[in-house]
Amino acid sequence: MLTGKTAVITGGSRGIGAAIARAFAERGAQIAILYAGRTEAAEAVCSDCRALGVNALAYKCDVASFDQTKETVAAIRADFGNVHILVNNAGITRDGLIARMREEDYDAVLDTNLKGTFNMTRHCSGLFLRAKEGCIINMSSVSGLMGNAGQCNYAAAKAGLIGLTKSAARELAAKNIRVNAIAPGFIATDMTASFAEETIARSIPLQRMGRPEDVAQAAVFLAEAEYITGEVLRVDGGIAM
């Protein structure tokens, strides 16, 4: 159970982030979600969490900004007192073939998906040290393990997250702070809404796309598994095995 813990979830207003917020709330965690622009959606997720008997608040924040993340983490500390779990889930895509990819599209994906994770980890690490415990879950992707045509920016960011996860895990383990990553495959969210689900499913050994709740189950497991650090857990229906 996560009762008595405060969990910060970036990109928490929809999809995988929202499912993780609800799953953590069901386990008794207090919830702080960060979102980029959908205030109504973020508040709806908080309402769902509060209906489960926990406190839940939403914070608008661009995780690519070092200063905004610092201010937001300070606000969360003021509201909740401390932080015990950080889920770095915020991510964007700007797909395109490398020969035609615009520099700004490459930079935007790296800034949000990779630097955003650094920013949040950097600012939350002091709170973990204060709590004498911490759990960080970074949302990578099978694209970071396998590569994917048309996604050199996204795959580079997600592969970078694996390196960041393992390095931070080694650095922070002595302080009782665990750092792991989840590598989802094709999950049915807004980000994959344009994909042909039946075609995708044929390439997946389990013959279906994943659900946000499938990833949330893995996040709950990692949040509660006190002797696992530095791992990358695939939630992909077998596509990257």
Residues with catalytic roles: 154
| Alpha helices per DSSP H over the chain | 15-26, 39-50, 66-80, 103-110, 116-131, 142-146, 152-172, 197-202, 212-224
Cα distances (Å, whole numbers) of residue 166 to 14, 116, 207? 27, 17, 31
Cα distances (Å, whole numbers) of residue 238 to 64, 117, 152, 202? 31, 26, 22, 12
The C-alpha atoms of residue 60 and residue 34 are separated, in whole angstroms, by 6
Residue 225 is encoded by which pair of tokens? 């598994």
